[in-house]
Amino acid sequence: MEIRLFNNLTRQKELFKPIDPNLVRFYSCGPTTYNFLHVGNARALVVADLFHRTLKALGYNVKFVRNYTDVDDKILEAARVRGIHPKEHADEFIRECAKDMDYLGMLPATATPTVSETMPEIIQMIQDLITNGYAYTVKKENGAEEVLYNVPKFADYGKLSRVQLDSLQHGIRVESDKEKKNPSDFVLWKPAKPEEGWSWDSPWGKGRPGWHIECSAMAKKHLGKTIDLHHGGVDLMFPHHENEIAQSEAANGCPFCNNWAHNEFLNFGSEKMSKSLGNVVTIRDFVNKYSGHVLRQILLSVHYRSKLDWTEDSITKAIGEVERIHEFAHALEIVDAKVVDDMKETNEVKKAIELIKAELANDFNVPGALGVFFGVIKDFNRHSKEGASAAYLKAVMEVAELMENATGLVHQNPKEVLASLNLARKNLSGAGTNSSEEEIEKLIAERKEARATKNWGRSDEIRNRLNELGVVVKDNPDGTATWTYK
């Protein structure tokens, strides 16, 4: 099936032609693991999962790589505050991110490399850039060296983001770093500071990489020198993706990526949602209150290249849609076929399958696919009451499977999904504001019971669940337990 994708390199919708006709090499920039992810991060994750699923559902093999940035200033700082090794801190939040991705119904990626495990490849690529004349070193204190990318050396700089190098050079404030040859040059390797507690040996002394080089090195390691599709949030286009192109093409001497896709922001109120605005809602908070199905439904209900307004109405609407889809999925499980002639209806459903595929092949148009899908559901609800043939039900089943595989918006266990919506509605109406406290009290009582019967496995499980809810339990000498939020 022909797929047309909007390619940000050309700012046009184009026929998607992977280098290898049956295989898509796909890279998406992943999260920095210093804390729980906020809802704003979820859109990029779910959009990458949509690309992965849809390409597979439309017949491609997909090698999908999404990184974890586990070496970063924020991680070093958080670990220092906690008095633990930065790797321990980063690994803890890699596990939490992975849980969030499960709640969001994401398929596992082919590879999820970390910066710390990719260090030899990162160092090699920086060396290649120096050898090829695109990077230079600057002496710092204690004989350590910093490595910088010489941006004006790369003639194609700006080809993705369309920034003009001249205006860029003038626009950047003169930094204290006087050794930089050009204001736009960026760091590939920086010397370690003694208090940071995590560094690597390199030809330039102990240090760690700048942010941009990791994606270039990981893409090459897992996918090769030229890839078919690269994705990230639109905020990453400049400078991150521009710098990835500059690094990869200068080091490898060939094109880095043929198609670039960027998802738009999530708008919280009318402002871009970010932690600095104080609009903090973590994915975990949202999942505990409304479920991952509802979050996925919200995130995919708008085309990935459109801004998505985050409002209470979007939650209400998504709950209704998740319910409609899973009442249908449940009804489809239990309905019996009748001997009737419904060839006309069956052909309509078969047409719908092709229409859904066409919508998805049109730059991943999920809203379009959902429109067709809801039409099939409406038809099924009416027709299955009159009595539907085995052929009709088989075709409807195929629609459900296609939507499940390509979008993840249909879940395997509809009854479980429907049950989760009761809590979502309760929380949305505000009637359930105490429900998490009720759950905590119940868990603590259960934990007491488990400890009394020496059921340590269950007791540990409960402690982990309480930890997820942000609760600290204190065991008192008299055998009672008290709790507070962390």
Q: What residues make contact with Zn ion under the rule CB under 5 A?
A: 29, 215
CA 116 to chain CA mean position, Å: 20
Query: Residue 215 CA to chain centroid, in angstroms?
Result: 15
**CA distance linking residue 164 with residue 310, whole number of Å:** 33
Within 10 Å of residue 379's Cβ, how many Cβ atoms? 17
| Helix, strand, or coil (residue 137) | strand
Residue 335 tokens read as: 């309905």
Closest CB to Zn ion among 8 and 291?
8
User: At closest approach, how far in Å is the CB of 72 from Zn ion?
Assistant: 12
> Is the separation of the CB atoms in 111 and 122 below 8 Å?
no
CB of 215 to Zn ion, least distance (A): 3
Question: What letter does residue 253 receive in the DSSP assignment?
Answer: S
Q: Between 30 and 207, name the residue whose CB sits nearer to Zn ion.
A: 30
Q: How far is the CB of 113 from Zn ion (least distance, A)?
A: 11
Residue 237 or residue 473: which is nearer to Zn ion going by CB? Answer: 237
Of 293, 291, 288, 295, whose CA–CA distance to 436 is shortest?
288
Q: Please tell me the distance from the alpha carbon of residue 264 to that of residue 237, in angstroms, as a whole number.
A: 11
Of 184 and 216, nearer to Zn ion (C-beta) is 216
Smaller CB separation from Zn ion, 29 or 192: 29
CA 407 to chain centre: 14
Query: To the nearest whole angstrom, how small is the minimum distance from the Cβ of residue 168 to Zn ion?
Result: 20
What one-character-per-residue DSSP string does 52-82 give? HHHHHHTT-EEEEEE-BB---HHHHHHHHHH
Nearest to Zn ion of 29, 352 (CB atom): 29
Q: How far is the CB of 290 from Zn ion (least distance, A)?
A: 30
Least separation in angstroms between residue 422's CB and Zn ion is 40
Number of Cβ within 10 Å of residue 340's Cβ equals 15
Minimum CB distance to Zn ion smaller for 29 or for 396: 29
Question: Residue 62 forms beta bridges with which residues?
Answer: 24
Structure-token pair, residue 442: 């119940």
Pairwise CA distance, residues 406 & 356, whole Å: 10
- Which residue type is seen at 278? G
Q: List Cβ neighbours of 317 (8 Å cut-off, separation of 6 or more).
A: 301
Residue 170 CB, shortest distance to Zn ion, in Å, is 27
Question: From the CB of 232, what's the least distance to Zn ion, in Å?
Answer: 6
State the nearest-atom distance from the C-beta of 361 to Zn ion, in Å: 26
Backbone angle region of 173, left / alpha / beta, with phi > 0 → left and psi within -120 to 50 → alpha: beta
At its nearest, how many Å lie between Zn ion and the CB of residue 240?
A: 5
* Nearest CB to Zn ion, comparing residues 232 and 408: 232
Instruction: Considering the complex, state which of residue 212 and residue 383 has its C-beta at the smaller distance from Zn ion.
Output: 212
In contact, 212 and 186? CB cutoff 8 Å? yes
* CA 176 – CA 194 distance, rounded (Å): 21
Q: Which is nearer to Zn ion, 245 or 402 (CB)?
A: 245
Q: What is the DSSP string of 100-113?
A: HHHHTTPPPPSB--
Reference 301, options 70, 46, 11, 29; nearest CA is 46
